[in-house]
Structure 1
Amino acid sequence: MQLVVARIGRAHGIKGEVTVEVRTDEPELRLGPGAVLATEPATTGPLTIETGRVHSGRLLLRFEGVKDRTAAEALRNTLLIADVDPAELPEDPEEFYDHQLMDLDVVLADGTGIGRITEITHLPSQDLFIVERPDGSEVMIPFVEEIVTEIDLDEQRAVIAPPPGLIDESEAVVASAREEEGGTAAGTGEDDA
């Protein structure tokens, strides 16, 4: 199975290093010196990592055969792809690979179906599940412990406890509807005269 583990950013310096947007929880395993990675576009690779280092919080890589800034800049926006055994699992039982989460059914604790995971977006602050609902619309679910309460790979489902308004926009207006029902002057239709 092939997994995207990084995206090459801009060139760094003049000796062929590039910045890398890491897309794996195991960069030391997937992006270490000697790793041979397929690429997208495929014509750019395969690329073999020669060196790697962290500079100002960013991973910098140098690839074999890439010796100057021009060659490094030509790699910009290339995706780095690692071959991974589909049976391989993360060491931490609370972590999951994207391919394990794709197509899981998303349900509430009472079993009410919400949809299925069609995409996982990795943001700096958190990951998001993109969930396709039965009507074809999509909803974004933050992949945080407070909202995603259980991942059951055997049952192929993710159980969520969404805050009001995350799943159904009608829940977000409940408070204002109550105010109107409570008889505030606005919208009651009563005459002041």
Structure 2
Amino acid sequence: MQLVVARIGRAHGIKGEVTVEVRTDEPELRLGPGAVLATEPAAVGPLTIDSGRVHSGRLLLRFAGVADRTAAEALRNTLLIAEVDPEEVPEDPEEFYDHQLIDLDVVTREGEEIGRISEIAHLPAQDLLVVRRPDGGEVLIPFVAEIVPEIDLAEQRAVIDPPPGLLGEPEGEDERGGEPGGSGSR
């Protein structure tokens, strides 16, 4: 199974380093020196990671054969793709790989169908489940235990307990849902 693990950003310095937008929870495993990654567009790769380091909170990578800023800049916006065994699971039972979550049905505790997970957005503050609604719309669900208390891989579903307004259905109210933390009814 192929998974997108990063997107190459701008060149950094003059020796061929690039910034990367990490899209994996295990960058040390997927983006370490010696890793060979397929690319999208495919004509760019495969790329072999020569070295990596963190600078000012961003991961910088250098690839074999990319020796200067011009070559590094030519890689901008390329997706890096790792080959992952579909049976591989994280050691922590409370963690999940993106491929385990994609296509799970999303339902509330009461059994109301919300949609299906189409993507995981890895943001600096937290991960978000991108859920495609049956009507074609999308809803973003923060992937935190308070809102997503259960992932049932055997049943292929994610159970959510959304706070008021998260799903965009407050009747006659401002969509912001009032004061932060004001519900208190849970």
Distance 1:42 1:81, change over 3 A: same
Partner AA of 2:70 in structure 1: T
Cα deviation, residue 143, structure 1: 1.1
Partner AA of 1:119 in structure 2: E
* Deviations 1:17-56 (CA, angstroms, capped at 9, x unpaired): 1111111111111111111100011000000011111111
Identical amino acids, percent of aligned pairs: 81
Is 1:57 paired with 2:65?
no
Cα deviation, residue 57, structure 1: 1.4
Is 1:146 paired with 2:146?
yes
Unmatched tracts of structure 1, length 5 or more: 175-193
The list of structure 1 runs, each at least 4 consecutive aligned residues, that deviate by more than 3 angstroms after superposition, is none
Cα deviation, residue 172, structure 1: 6.6
Match of 2:130 in 1: 130
Unmatched tracts of structure 2, length 5 or more: 175-186
The structure with the greater share of residues assigned to helix is 1
Length, aligned pairs only: 174
- The structure whose Rg is larger is 1
Mapping of residues 46-125 of structure 1, within 5 Å: 46-125=46-125
Tell me if the contact between 1:139 and 1:167 (Cα under 8 Å) persists in the aligned partners: yes
Cα deviation, residue 144, structure 1: 1.3
TM-score, normalised relative to structure 1 = 0.85
* Deviations 1:140-167 (CA, angstroms, capped at 9, x unpaired): 2111111111100011111111011112
Cα deviation, residue 123, structure 1: 1.6
Partner AA of 2:106 in structure 1: V
Could you say what secondary structure the match of 2:149 adopts? strand
Cα deviation, residue 137, structure 1: 2.5
Tell me if the contact between 2:164 and 2:170 (Cα under 8 Å) persists in the aligned partners: no
- Cα RMSD after superposing both structures: 1.4
TM-score, normalised relative to structure 2 = 0.88
* Deviations 1:120-153 (CA, angstroms, capped at 9, x unpaired): 2222111222222223322221111111111000
Measure the CA separation in 2 of the matches of 1:171 and 1:17: 51
